[in-house]
Structure 1
Amino acid sequence: MDLTDYPLLHEADMMLTLLRVAAKGPATLDDALDRLKTNLASVGGTFPVTDAEILPHLSRMREHLIAALLLEEFEHGRVAITPRGERALAEHPSGIDDSVLMAYPEFRDFIKARAGHPMKTVGDKNPPGDDPRPVEFDQGFVAFREGLDINDNPHSRDTSMHIAWENGWSEAKDDVTRLDAWAAGSTNI
């Protein structure tokens, strides 16, 4: 489900809502969900998705805000805004997303710790660690280094493995392009 198709349900809007609700006192995801519905109703819109569809997204965003130390978690899933969160809210009144959170070293550490560990999502049949895509990415990377063309991708189109292999191949090509550009710009005397 791509929430960006719906007004006021972009990541930046939802993070902003989480912070604003938490600024009024300890709040739950249900409090944030109610606020989202109220915001949408105030502009004449109806909530286009079910609570069950939106709650995982809100939960992930709450986790990111906690990792960036903008929210503090209390018992029973309640969160409150921190002084850092209040500053972020004042500095970014039109919305906050992961690109804003990357300014905080704690959030960058959180992202680094998760790198290479795919997140389990609702309905995911493979537990974390069983995702074959990192292997396919590496195979594509090596394939470029061995002189294979991007059209030599051995995986069926429209599969995650095809895309991962292609991304690996492209990353290896980009590395060579960057290295060539650097070498052309350097002057060794």
Structure 2
Amino acid sequence: MGSPVVSPLVSLVVRVFTIILIVASLIVLATDNITYELGFYGNSYQLKFTDIYAYRYMLSVMVIGLAWILLQSAFTIFHFSSGNPFAGEALSHIEFYGDKVICNLLGTGAAAGFGLTIDAKRALKLDSIQNDFFNKANAATSLLLIAFLLSAISSVFSSYNLPPKAVIAEATPATPPTA
């Protein structure tokens, strides 16, 4: 296997920024809740991000993406420190396809968050408390979108690190055995 086109250090830096953005998005989303006071009886209702399916999907995507990128970062650190990729060519294929899947998951998580937030803000008459709830969710979604873009860059980097295809030599047609 030839030397990689992309330095492991560059790949690691992109992955670290992706991790930072996903963690920040996770924190913003996890702290997103509001409390309503209902009527004269002192009853209240708390709306949490987990009450909304699209935001739960975002949370799931963030956790899965974070686990994958942390694992890949460990392999990249090993590659950077030792000079040899962990598990050789086999891992480069797993990294390539895994990065594609995680990139798509992060993209769909961001799309789900933006879609719900925009539709809710457009369709509902929101008071300032509800508006703050959706603005905070929108901030988490924006961070996830940037993490998706960095994940797409990592995905391109992993495609550069695939081993070159073997050149198949022209073979002469095999003659059938004679009976």
Q: What is the TM-score normalised by the length of structure 1?
A: 0.20
Between structure 1 and structure 2, the one with the greater Rg is 2
